[in-house]
Amino acid sequence: MKAARLHDYGKPLLLEDIPVPEIAEDEVLVQVKACGMCRSDVQLIDGYFRPYADLQPPLTLGHEIAGVVAGTGTLVPKGAGIAEGDHVVVAPGWGDGICRHCQVGDTQICPNVRWPGFGPVGGFAEFIPVPVRYVIKVAPHLRFEELAPLTDAGLTTYRGVRKLRDAGALGPDRVIGVLGVGGLGTYAVQYAKLLGGGARVVALARSEEKLKVAREYGVDHTVAVKGKSAADVRKELTGAFGQGELDAIIDCTGAPEMIQLGMSLLSISGHYVDVGLVGDRIDVPLFPRVSREQSFHGSFWGNNADLIEVMALAAQDKVRHTIKTITFDELNTYVDLLRTGDIVGRAVVTF
């Protein structure tokens, strides 16, 4: 089968032919039909994660996976409802099943977690073995290239916005800011409207092209932040909403300058969720966080329950997509485009 593998950090992926993997008794073999490209693929290649998990090459990348069940292990129970020919997506975060996080369903934060696309198997390949408990059956009318990004870009932002909702940060008298309208932000602006309980939504980004997508997806206001100070942005927010601060923020960039801007705009008792990882350090004043009783939430990917909810929204045509499909041979070209931030929406490899 074709597979795109990382043999050396900092080097392009090698597009090669390797054997189709065998499956364990409790696994299914998924024939990959589409796999989304994520900024974390670039970060993995560039060594961003090595201080936290120094994964040893060769690694098969790709973690936003949709496909068809091509085979099942001998111990896959009939009650699982998964059979050959089923259309499925692959849930991320394969936990050990015994830690306290796995016991409540949050396998993505298991201390012994395995990730597709961050080890020997991944979605930039024609087949991938997956533990049966991490495949979710989906409606056959949904397009693979639209399903794939929902397993990370669409899942990560869903969990982040849900955290804001569950914290009581959203409602009809609130303003929620979405920082960045890239692969993640195009979904975040939609969930902010769907889950916001009437909260008004503002998208903040540097690119006018990306802000145009946010407007098409129904945000109440957009702010082009390039070259603007926090005071400039605050003035623009006041003109649009009658207040210069944001009650809730989902940061889809994680860029240091965007975090500093967002924190300077956060209201008293405001809630800030970060799902982006462009940077690796936070440098913000401490006293306002304490004296204004603000809350910062880390939110990492999502669990099976989150993904099932996302798939239900997709099946009801409540989620829109900005997708660029590419071929396997174009992978390294689009890795470079991801690195420079020159992709609007999500690039998806189709087989």
DSSP 152-219: THHHHHHHHHHHHHHTT--STT-EEEEE--STTHHHHHHHHHHHSTT-EEEEEES-HHHHHHHHHTT-
Report how far residue 40's alpha carbon sits from residue 277's, in angstroms, rounded to the nearest whole number. 8
Report how far residue 83's alpha carbon sits from residue 93's, in angstroms, rounded to the nearest whole number. 22
Residues 6+ apart with CB under 8 A from 15: 2, 3, 4, 328, 329, 331, 332
Amino acid 178: pLDDT: 98
Q: Are residues 20 and 34 in the same domain?
A: yes
Domain-terminating residue out of 282, 298, 314: 298
- CATH number for the domain spanning 112: value is 3.90.180.10
Q: Is the pLDDT of residue 344 over 90?
A: no
Report how far residue 255's alpha carbon sits from residue 252's, in angstroms, rounded to the nearest whole number. 9
Q: Are residues 233 and 183 in the same domain?
A: yes
Mean pLDDT across the chain, nearest whole number?
96
- CATH number for the domain spanning 215: value is 3.40.50.720
Q: Are residues 308 and 253 in the same domain?
A: no
Q: What share of the chain is helix, strand, coil (3-state, %, to 5)?
A: 30, 25, 40
Q: How confident is the model at residue 223 (pLDDT cuts 50, 70, 90)?
A: very high
CA 344 to chain centroid, in Å, comes to 15
Q: Residue 161 belongs to what domain range? A: 155-298
Q: Are residues 169 and 148 in the same domain?
A: no
Amino acid 49: pLDDT: 94
Q: Are residues 118 and 60 in the same domain?
A: yes
Q: Are residues 283 and 312 in the same domain?
A: no
Candidates 57, 196, 178; CA nearest to 118 is 57
Q: Are residues 106 and 124 in the same domain?
A: yes
> pTM here?
0.95
Q: How confident is the model at residue 341 (pLDDT cuts 50, 70, 90)?
A: confident
Q: Are residues 82 and 136 in the same domain?
A: yes
Q: Are residues 52 and 134 in the same domain?
A: yes
Amino acid 342: pLDDT: 83
**Segment 60-97, tens digit of pLDDT:** 999 999 999 999 999 999 888 999 999 999 999 999 99
**Segment 100-148, tens digit of pLDDT:** 999 999 999 999 999 999 999 999 999 999 999 999 999 999 999 999 9
For residues 320-341, average pLDDT: 94
Quote the number of domains for the chain.
2
**Segment 282-304, tens digit of pLDDT:** 899 999 999 999 999 999 999 99
For residues 179-206, average pLDDT: 96
Amino acid 54: pLDDT: 82
Candidates 48, 51, 58, 195; CA nearest to 119 is 58
- DSSP 3-state of 146: helix
Q: Are residues 102 and 227 in the same domain?
A: no
Q: Are residues 117 and 86 in the same domain?
A: yes
Q: Structure tokens of 164? A: 């804001």
Candidates 7, 113, 121, 132; CA nearest to 57 is 7
Domain-terminating residue out of 258, 276, 298: 298
Report how far residue 190's alpha carbon sits from residue 36's, in angstroms, rounded to the nearest whole number. 19
